[in-house]
């Protein structure tokens, strides 16, 4: 691992691509290509029956839709209520609508939920879903419909609540080196309906065992701030007291540090909590594992965080994956304290899950020493372990498995 990182460091200084990096990119390209071909043949493509998918539409859009059918506008609000407050996904069961309108809707409209391809159940109760997304409608201004894709969502039950982790893109273009999703490349952006649909599918699948509180984290496949509008449209429904009515305190968007996206989110009236995936204590170190840092280095990220208008109850969350022997020293911890000194933050330390990527699990004494260094210097820090480790906890792992086999052993590839 160390020689892999050392070589990456030298290469980044010289701005050249090593044979190892070329192999990794080639495999990612081949897999993305294979993914598209396999998905195109395996996932049933919805017939072009011209029905309008209502999932993900705002109350205004639903009002406009029913008015175009010759109905009064408030029927749109009734559909919105049935869909998100009552969680009815079949027009026939929307008893707040007249039978005549239910008939019209079944001919003219659809509610296209993500389709569960597979459930992986963990011993700790976590359920990891592989979800198929249909081809979908063409986006405004685009001629072609969105291509089919496979994504992941995770349901994590706890004593008094459940947390649902959702994807915002199929694949991802950001290329964090510790992330298996990165090896897929970006397949496509998800629509608002496909994003909110993941929450609805997971809730519906646990209808009889739901706890009173639901948390949602946007930490699955994709960089949410690079699919801004659909993500915000889904969040508005999620956070709307007349929609899914989840408190903004219970919804977290996690970014790799897209500075213009953070500034844009700061201007939104309705927004979730913000988490930033930091994972390094210096630019040199972050450049090695998160190439996005070359575009938005740590100082720019700090400035964006200083500008971000925190609500009185709010703090920023920094996620820090502890990669054994790479970013888990006491010196790293001290640098983190300095970087975050003038921000209202908490730090989630996530020990690396040993798997197919070339990093080591940090030992428990080092994890505790790291946490203590932060806490002793006044930085709130918590150690978080990934849930569902027996059903492949790494982001992107299930999607790679769906592509027909084991994820690539990048340790071997990059050492060639």
Length of the chain equals 416
From 71, 112, 152, 319, the catalytic residue: 152
* Least distance CB 174 / ligand SF4 (angstroms): 4
146 DSSP assignment: P
Provide the binding-site residues for ligand SF4, judged by CB under 6 A. 172, 174-176, 179, 181-182, 221-223, 256, 395
Residue whose C-alpha is closest to residue 246's, from 226, 272, 218: 272
Of the two residues 255 and 373, which places its CB atom closer to ligand SF4 in the complex? 255
Three-class secondary structure of residue 361 per DSSP:
coil
* Least distance CB 369 / ligand SF4 (angstroms): 26
Residue whose C-alpha is closest to residue 110's, from 130, 92, 131, 95: 92
Residue whose C-alpha is closest to residue 197's, from 226, 168, 240, 228: 168
Cα separation, 26 vs 30, in Å, equals 6
Three-class secondary structure of residue 194 per DSSP:
helix
DSSP letters for 165-229: E--SEEE-SS--TT-SGGGG-EEEEPPHHHHHHHHHHHHHHTGGG--SEEEEEE-SSS-GGGSHH
156 backbone dihedrals φ, ψ, rounded to 5°:
-120, 105
Three-class secondary structure of residue 83 per DSSP:
helix
Of the two residues 53 and 152, which places its CB atom closer to ligand SF4 in the complex? 152
* Least distance CB 330 / ligand SF4 (angstroms): 26
270 DSSP assignment: S
Residue whose C-alpha is closest to residue 359's, from 262, 292, 289: 289
Q: Is 172 a catalytic residue?
A: no
* Least distance CB 224 / ligand SF4 (angstroms): 9
Three-class secondary structure of residue 313 per DSSP:
coil
From 165, 172, 305, 395, the catalytic residue: 395
Cα separation, 56 vs 238, in Å, equals 10
Q: Is 152 a catalytic residue?
A: yes
* Least distance CB 276 / ligand SF4 (angstroms): 11
Of the two residues 169 and 373, which places its CB atom closer to ligand SF4 in the complex? 169
* Least distance CB 293 / ligand SF4 (angstroms): 11
Of the two residues 187 and 339, which places its CB atom closer to ligand SF4 in the complex? 187
> Residue 42, Cα to own-chain centre: how many angstroms?
24
Of the two residues 197 and 396, which places its CB atom closer to ligand SF4 in the complex? 396
Of the two residues 295 and 372, which places its CB atom closer to ligand SF4 in the complex? 295
Contact 191, 134 (CB under 8 A): no
Question: Across the strands, what pairs with 153?
Answer: 129
- Which residues are known to be catalytic? 152, 395
């Amino acid at each position: 691992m160390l020689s892999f990182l050392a070589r990456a460091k030298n290469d980044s200084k010289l701005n050249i691509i090593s044979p190892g990096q070329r192999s990794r990119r080639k495999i990612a390209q081949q897999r993305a290509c294979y993914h598209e071909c396999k998905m195109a043949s395996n996932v049933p493509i919805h017939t072009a029956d011209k029905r309008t998918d209502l999932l993900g539409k705002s109350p205004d859009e639903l009002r406009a839709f029913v008015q175009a059918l010759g109905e009064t506008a408030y029927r749109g609000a009734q559909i919105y209520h049935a869909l998100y407050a009552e969680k009815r996904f079949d027009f026939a069961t929307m008893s707040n609508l007249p039978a005549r309108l239910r008939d019209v809707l079944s001919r003219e409209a659809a509610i296209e939920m993500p389709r569960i391809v597979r459930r992986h159940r963990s011993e700790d109760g976590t359920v990891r879903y592989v979800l198929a997304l249909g081809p979908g409608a063409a986006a405004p201004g685009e001629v072609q419909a969105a291509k089919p894709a496979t994504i992941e969502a995770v349901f994590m039950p706890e004593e008094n609540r459940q947390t649902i982790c959702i994807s915002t893109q199929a694949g991802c273009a950001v290329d964090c080196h510790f992330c298996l999703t990165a090896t897929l490349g970006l397949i496509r952006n998800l629509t608002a309906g496909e994003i909110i649909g993941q929450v609805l599918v997971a809730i519906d699948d646990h209808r009889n065992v739901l706890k009173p509180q639901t948390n949602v984290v946007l930490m699955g496949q994709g960089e949410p701030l690079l699919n801004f509008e659909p993500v915000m449209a889904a969040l508005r429904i999620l956070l709307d007291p007349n929609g899914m009515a989840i408190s903004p305190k219970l919804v977290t968007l996690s970014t790799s540090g897209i500075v213009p996206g953070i500034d844009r989110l700061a201007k939104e009236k309705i927004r979730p909590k913000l988490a930033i995936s930091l994972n390094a204590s210096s630019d040199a170190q972050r450049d090695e594992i998160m190439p996005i840092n070359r575009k938005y280095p740590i100082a720019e990220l700090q400035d964006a965080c200083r500008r971000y208008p925190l609500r009185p109850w709010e703090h920023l969350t920094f996620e820090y994956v502890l990669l054994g022997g790479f970013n888990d020293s006491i010196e790293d911890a001290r640098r983190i304290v300095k970087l975050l000194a003038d921000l209202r933050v908490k730090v989630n330390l996530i020990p690396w899950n040993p798997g197919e990527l070339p990093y080591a699990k940090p030992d428990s004494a080092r994890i505790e020493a790291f946490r203590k260094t932060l806490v002793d210097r006044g930085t709130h820090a918590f150690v978080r372990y990934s849930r569902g480790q027996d059903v492949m906890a790494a982001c992107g792992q299930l999607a790679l498995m769906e592509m027909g086999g084991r994820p690539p052993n990048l340790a071997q590839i990059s050492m060639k």
